[in-house]
Structure 1
Amino acid sequence: MAQEQRPVGWWVKRLDALLEEAVDAAVAPEGLTRRHWQVLHSLAEGDAGPRDVLRDFSVDVGPVVADLTARGWVTRPAAGALRLTEDGAAAHDRVWRAVGRVRRHAADGMSRDEYERAVTVLARMVENMERALGRG
C-alpha cells in the first residue's frame, strides 16, 4: 500500500508512537518520560489542580505527579492545587530545550503555515469525532 493510501488513523498512531519515542529519548537524561514532560509543561503554564493536569491524558499520571513531587519539582500549596517549585521550573526550562529540538525535527521541511494547517485539520477531525460520539 502506498503511503498516500494509508488512512489518517494509521498516520496519527504512527506519529504519536514516534513522538513518544523521540520525547522519551530527549528527556531520558533527566530520568523522565514523555508523561513527565507533559505534566511539567502543563504546570509551567501556571498553578493547576490535579484534575486540570490530568484532563488531557488518557493514562493515569498520578504516579508521574508523585515522582515529580518526590524530586522536589512539584508542590501542593493548597488542597487540590499543584505548582512547580523553583527546581521544577528550572527542570522544565532544561527539558524544554530538548523537547524543542524534537518539535523542530517533527516540523522539518514544513512552513509555519503548513504546520498550522496540519494542526487545524487534526483539531477539526477530533471535534468531528467527538461530536459524532456525542461528546462535543
Structure 2
Amino acid sequence: MDVERPIGWWVKRLDTLLEEALDSVVAGEGLTRRHWQVLHSLAGGMDRESDVVAALADFSGDAGAIVGDLAGRGWVDRTEGGALHLTAEGTAAHDRVSRAVGRVRRHTADGLSRQEYERTVLVLTRMVENVERALGRE
C-alpha cells in the first residue's frame, strides 16, 4: 500500500471504485448508482422529490430525471400533492438491489472492525466539516 499518497487521492480512488462496483451490481436491473440512491432514499421514507434532489445534490446526475425514470418503470408513484412513494414493483426492485448492494458494502468493509469503520466515518465527517468551515459554508 502506498501510504505516501494524500487523503484526497484515497477518497477519490475509493469513490471511483464504489461507483464501478455499485454500477456493476445494479446494471442487471438497468440501473446506475444514482438510481440506487434515489430508490433507497424513497424506500427509507423520503417522500418529496425536492428532498430527494437536495439529499443527492453532491452527486453527479439529475435526481429529478432519475425519479422520472423510476416512475416510468412503474416503480414510483406521484400523488396529487406531489409526494412520491414506491409501488409494489418498486419495493420488490429495492429489495432485490439492496441484497446486491449489501454485498458490495460488506466487501468494502472486509477486514475492518465495527469500531474501525465507525472511526473512519467519524474522521471523514470531521474533515468535511473542517473544509466546509474553511470555505465559509458552516
| TM-score grouping bracket, smaller chain normalisation | over 0.9
Q: What percentage of aligned pairs have identical amino acids?
A: 67
What pairs with 1:58-77 in structure 2 (closer than 5 Å)? 58=58, 59=60, 60-77=62-79
For residue 131 of structure 2, the aligned residue among 121, 129, 132 is 129
2:87 equivalent in structure 1: 85
- Asked whether the 8 Å contact 1:75–1:82 carries over to 2, the reply is yes
Deviation of 1:131 after TM superposition, in Å, equals: 1.3
TM-score with structure 1 setting the length: 0.93
Tell me, in whole angstroms, the C-alpha distance in 1 between the residues paired with 2:80 and 2:45.
14
Instruction: Point out 4+ residue stretches in structure 1 off by more than 6 angstroms.
Output: none
- SS of the aligned residue for 1:4 comes to coil
Taking the aligned partners of 1:80 and 1:10, their CA distance within structure 2 comes to: 41
Residue in structure 2 matching 1:110, options 101, 109, 112:
112
Kindly indicate whether the alpha-carbon contact (under 8 Å) linking 1:47 and 1:81 is maintained by their aligned counterparts in 2. Answer: no
Unmatched 5+ stretches in structure 1: none
Instruction: Name the residue aligned to 1:96.
Output: 98
CA distance, structure 1, for counterparts of residue 16 and residue 55 of structure 2: 17
* 5+ long unaligned stretches in structure 2: none
> How many Å separate the matches in 1 of 2:46 and 2:5?
41
Q: Quickly say closer, same or farther: Cα 1:78–1:133, change in 2 above 3 A.
A: farther
1:27-46 to structure 2, matched below 5 A, reads 27-46=26-45
For these two proteins, the number of residue pairs brought into alignment is 135
Structure-1 separation of matches of 2:12 and 2:132: 17
Distance 1:81 1:69 in 2: 12
Q: What is aligned with 1:21?
A: 20
Q: Deviations over 1:39-59 (max 9, x none)?
A: 000000114211211113233
CA distance in 2: counterparts of 1:3 and 1:24, whole angstroms: 26
